[in-house]
Structure 1
Amino acid sequence: MTTPPGTVETRELVLPVRANHHGTLFAGQGLQLMAQAAFLAARGLVQREVVMAGVTGVDFLAPVPVGSQLTLRGWVSRVGRSSMTVCVTGLADQPGVPPEEVLKGVFEMVAVDAAGRPVAIACSYRNQETLP
């Protein structure tokens, strides 16, 4: 099966260095991992540099214990003139436990030139839905 352009999947091990005092993934670390997945999905689609313009929503649905494998999946759901909407979900997986959706968020990314100014995205990607 071919992955649609603008889709990325990463896996991370939740180590104690990423945990809070409860032994679960610290929310700031989870947000950072989600932002990285959004960046990789957007840059992969447009094949140029991108920056984050905003986060329209992030939900932490369940705690992610240390030792869990966190699978983050990001995909571009909307392409505009220079901006994109990227959806990210996170699934936690532990041996003997079914995977559970634990994170989700929506990120607005903008294609930029070398000076950091917004630049038009190629017409072939605009207004296309690249839902998973």
Structure 2
Amino acid sequence: MTVLAKPASESRTTMTQLIFPEDANFHGTMFGGKVMEYMDKTAAIASMRHARIPVVTASTDSIDFIGPIRVGDVIEIVAFVAWSHNSSMEVYVKVQTEHVYTGERTTVVTAFFTFVGLDPSGKPTRVPDILPETDEEKSLHASAPKRYEQRKQRKRDRQKD
């Protein structure tokens, strides 16, 4: 089966949320787990848009909480497939707060999620390659093989335990 390469832009997915008190801890900042839930959902949609098949989360790494998300903030979660390898897709996810009155945006969380494409029987299957277009996409695509090897090494190390 031939699987053609697709532009990263075709997978780009955006979720916007207003943060309410029930989303926050006793510090008045958003629960990290809730942010991660939104990130995982957005990344899943991005990977399904890229592969056009069912997917599962295989790993999450490099979740960096750079700044707080406060009650009343508007957040925008942006995800796109940055790289693919056989059946796996590395999805870059960025969360920004937006000051809705000024339009000022601040990046507060970044991460890499890995998803695996599944065939109708639930087995890993080939997914399209990525054609990066923007400078950000090109940079992430170029550095992805190193992250892929690091993930593989972490998995091997854990299997020894």
> TM-score w.r.t. structure 2 length?
0.73
Q: Which has the higher strand share?
A: 1
- Partner Cα distance (1:127, 1:94) in 2: 33
The alpha-carbon deviation at position 16 of structure 1 amounts to 1.1
User: Which one of the candidate residues 127, 132, 146 is aligned to 1:129?
Assistant: 132
**Structure 2 residues without counterparts, runs of 5 or longer:** 1-7, 139-161
Q: Which amino acid aligns with 1:117?
A: K
Q: Which has the higher helix share?
A: 2
Instruction: Assess if the C-alpha contact under 8 Å between 1:79 and 1:128 holds in 2.
Output: no
Q: How many residues align?
A: 127
The alpha-carbon deviation at position 127 of structure 1 amounts to 5.1
User: Which one of the candidate residues 82, 91, 97 is aligned to 1:92?
Assistant: 97
User: Which one of the candidate residues 22, 31, 35 is aligned to 1:26?
Assistant: 31
Matched, 1:79 2:87: no
SS at match of 1:102: strand
- Deviation string 1:50-75 (CA, Å, 9 cap, x unpaired) is 00000121011111011111001001
Instruction: Assess if the C-alpha contact under 8 Å between 1:38 and 1:86 holds in 2.
Output: yes
**Structure 1 residues without counterparts, runs of 5 or longer:** none
- Partner Cα distance (2:30, 2:15) in 1: 16
- Partner Cα distance (2:13, 2:100) in 1: 24
For the pair shown, the structure with the greater C-alpha radius of gyration is 2
The CA RMSD over aligned residues, in Å, is 1.8
